[in-house]
Structure 1
Amino acid sequence: MVNDGGSYKGSIFQRCGGVARNHAEALGRLGCETTLLTAVGNDDLADYLRTKSTVFDISHANIARGISSATYMSVNINGNIVHGFSSIEESIASITPEYILKKELLIAETDYIVIDGNLSENSIKRIIDLAETHRKKVWFEPTDIAKATKILKSDCHLKIHSISPNANEAAKLCEALGYESTQFSQFESNLSNFMEQETVSKFLENVGELRMGFDLFAKNQKLSNVFITLGALGILGIHHDKRTDKVICFPIPPPSAGTKKIVSVSGAGDCFNSGFLASQLYGHGFEQSVQIGRECAKESLLTINAVPESLNCIGEKLMENLVEHVHTEHCRH
């Protein structure tokens, strides 16, 4: 795009987004009872958001009068975000520690908490403290390179169960914790072919992000999953296998769209997280949960919506498998 003041042809879409909201919708479509704690303005954008929030509970949102609901505009070319412009600060600032404390009963009754890195450090700490009090698991999604290190305040990173930074966010965490980060071009050079196992293994031995990940597992006994998303290269996963009490590292290939055209990558990571988490909450194993996450990410790539309605079908399959599993277990006794 040239900065010449001209007008250019394109397509404009309005849709709901936001990391926490995307997770809430995806988990809701996958059959999980989900509540979104957020803030909205008293405006038409908030009304639009409510009309689109049919699969999760948004009734506990803080209504911040006098400010606009959080808005983000992206310029996409061939499905990839080229520029992004956000107006979210005022709305996010109204998600205060005091507001969160008022929702302690909801937190106490939940099975799992997903934190959006847009929140203030104090609000993140309040959620972590309440989760620890009520023995709840927490997933931290860093959201942005400028916000990735918020989780380090008061050693909150040592109290979470899962974290899912992208490569740039992981690099920021590495540097903040004293590790040498890895240039993304090095990931591209060494992980472009997952079949070359010797090359991949040798490269991973020297990746600072992995050293950081393994050290986090040693320091945080609650930590179970670190997913470093690498765009078209897939995901670098680090997992604590409770069965063997070993921490394992492995690359997760990207989902294949086959002959279908990728429409937008926005939301794919959120859908992977939600698919993985929903599968875990249904009681499925780690490997199957990863596959469910990949399937959800693939569905997101094929639509303009960050969270596609087709996740409903995946949710139905998860529930069917759960019923079948419970029935089988019952027959064994």
Structure 2
Amino acid sequence: MNCQISQYVSKNRSSLQNKLFLLLIMICCTMMLFSCADSSNKKIKIGLSMDSLRVERWQKDRDIFIAEAEKLGADVIVQSADGDERKQNEQAENMITQGVNVLVVIPKDSVAASQIVKAAHAEGIKVIAYDRLIRESEPDLYISFDNEQVGYLQAEYLLRKKPEGDYFLLGGAPSDNNAQLLRKGQLRALQNSIDKGDIRLVAEGKHWAVNWDPNDALNKTEQVLTQTNNQIDVVVASNDGTAGGVIQALEGQNLAGKVFVSGQDAELAACQRIVKGTQTMTVYKPIRLIAKEAAQAAVALAKGETLEKAKQKVNNGKIDVPSILLTPIQVDKDNLDEVVIKDGFHSREKVYQTE
């Protein structure tokens, strides 16, 4: 009798253990399913690290980027470094700590920002260099316009307008890789005419506007006007902000509208100057296109997807960075309406100041 009871208890204990084991397996599977569901439903978080928001175009980049990223279901953290490279690195570290999936960086300094790439990669975070190449590191993507071509378009246009004369080349921030590419493109357009003696570079073409500052552009142009006794026919200004400083200096000598001046970015003030006749041209880089492409690429990288559009390569001194290079457009008074206004970048009322 005792033997039968013992067998019964043993049998039921074994059955109970099996049931408990199965229950534990079911609980574990359920927790894993909920964990996977939570992971798949977790929002992508993108960090947008910006050099500054002082220039009008960067405000547009920010707004369009955020709108596109949110449309794709991502959250965006934006921080602006106010032109301070150390501050930008600190802000990027902060966004890494906040757990962003991707960092999109508009670097203040193309070399200093390499530390951002290294810090992000140490945490498994992808990095996109936006419109400015990050050097001496391994960013996952570079998206920009062909900046050497932008410089070429500036100088080529002015050369057609003034094939002979005295040219002043005013670059942007020397710490910005784009400024170097622009100068390279400008000289590619001008070199043959320089070699033939058709055009002469005043101040040896060595001037750069610190931090792309219009006030610095104003001061440097005033200095060159004094040195040359106002003998300047063309100013190849590398963006619209510096063009504004140049034109202010020319106005002081009653030369505005008489000297050909280039620009870049199709800022509202520059478009108004083109209408007025004090700025000759600008180069339009469709901001809507680059900002949307960058947001789409950031979301794709966060999902671990392959970037099919990154078919080009740009060497940054360390690697050939996968790149998406978009096409810039020359703009003057003849196609301003068709290109800039039609694209919705500025309204006709604001450009022609009829509001």
TM-score, reference length from structure 2: 0.29
Q: Whose Rg is larger?
A: 2
